[in-house]
Amino acid sequence: QAATGRQASRTALFPRDQAEMADDWYVMGLRGTRSEGYTVENMFIPEGLTVDRETVAERQVHATLFRFPTTAVYASVFSSVALGIAQSTLDDLLALGREKKARAARTSMRDSPVFQTKLAELEAQLGSARAYKHGILTEVWKTVDGGGDLTMDDRARIRLATTYAINEATAVVEQIYRLAGSTAIFDNEPFERRFRDIHAVSQQVQGRASNYETVGRFMLGLDVDTIFM
């Protein structure tokens, strides 16, 4: 516990061979991350091998990245993964559209005005989410890198932009999945894997809808739990 009596969270370091890895990462998406759990027994860890990652006084490295809270870093990384999945899925749809002709259709997907319109809308939707997120992160990074403080307002903006990026990326992939038709259900096509991966990302805490509520409460000057901001 912390000096305040509240529960504290600290990161502990110990040799990997002292942990028993669990073969428990059987999931629908992000399978390649191999995010298995582990257990340790009867282990004593000296205080010097533990750290509170959010406490400035305990930081060993003072580079710009390490001045950001862990939650902001996680949010930035998860949203980047989501945007990357969505972009690759959109690229695959573009390639499919150049070749595929739907069964009983008079024209190919490429020549369909509906497909053409939807393709452009998806490009704009994804690009807008990416630009919004990158714009916020770039602006805040420059401030902190220049010696400025990372304010709660900055943290709220990062939380909002990253959550929005994850949810917009998910929406883009869902629409592409439907546009790809039956092609999307085959294991040898990239659509079904990316559909699974994006939903594994969006199910994480970084993409949950309640993040919007947190930011909204902050904007209104109400009390908020800043643990995820």
Residue 6 included in any domain: no
Residues 45 and 119 in one domain: no
Residues 140 and 181 in one domain: yes
Is 7's pLDDT higher than 70?
A: yes
152: enclosing H helix or E strand = helix 152-179
Torsions phi, psi of 35, nearest 5? -90, 50
Beta strand ranges found along the chain (DSSP E): 11-12, 20-21, 38-39, 50-51
Given a contact cutoff of 8 angstroms between Cβ atoms, the answer to whether 202 and 191 are in contact is no
Nearest to 166 by CA among 208, 134, 215: 208
Q: How confident is the prediction for the chain on average, in pLDDT?
A: 93
Which value, in Å, is the radius of gyration of the alpha carbons in the chain? 22
Residue 99 included in any domain: yes
The pLDDT tens digits for 136-151 are: 999 999 999 999 999 9
Domain hosting residue 164, numbered range: 64-228
pTM above 0.95? no
Residue 111 included in any domain: yes
CATH number of the domain that residue 168 is part of: 1.20.140.10
Cα 190 to Cα 196: distance, rounded to the nearest angstrom: 10
Who's near 126: CB < 8 A, 6+ residues apart?
A: 83, 86, 87, 90, 168, 169, 172
The pLDDT tens digits for 153-196 are: 999 999 999 999 999 999 999 999 999 999 999 999 999 999 99
The pLDDT tens digits for 94-145 are: 999 998 876 666 778 899 999 999 999 999 999 999 999 999 999 999 999 9
Given a contact cutoff of 8 angstroms between Cβ atoms, the answer to whether 34 and 21 are in contact is no
Residues 132 and 202 in one domain: yes
Residues 33 and 106 in one domain: no
Residues 224 and 123 in one domain: yes
Count of the separate structural domains present in the chain: 2
Residue 35 included in any domain: yes
Residue 158 included in any domain: yes
Residues 27 and 47 in one domain: yes
pLDDT of residue 54: 84
21: enclosing H helix or E strand = strand 20-21
| Cα-based distances in Å from 77 to 6, 100, 120, 153 | 29, 34, 26, 20
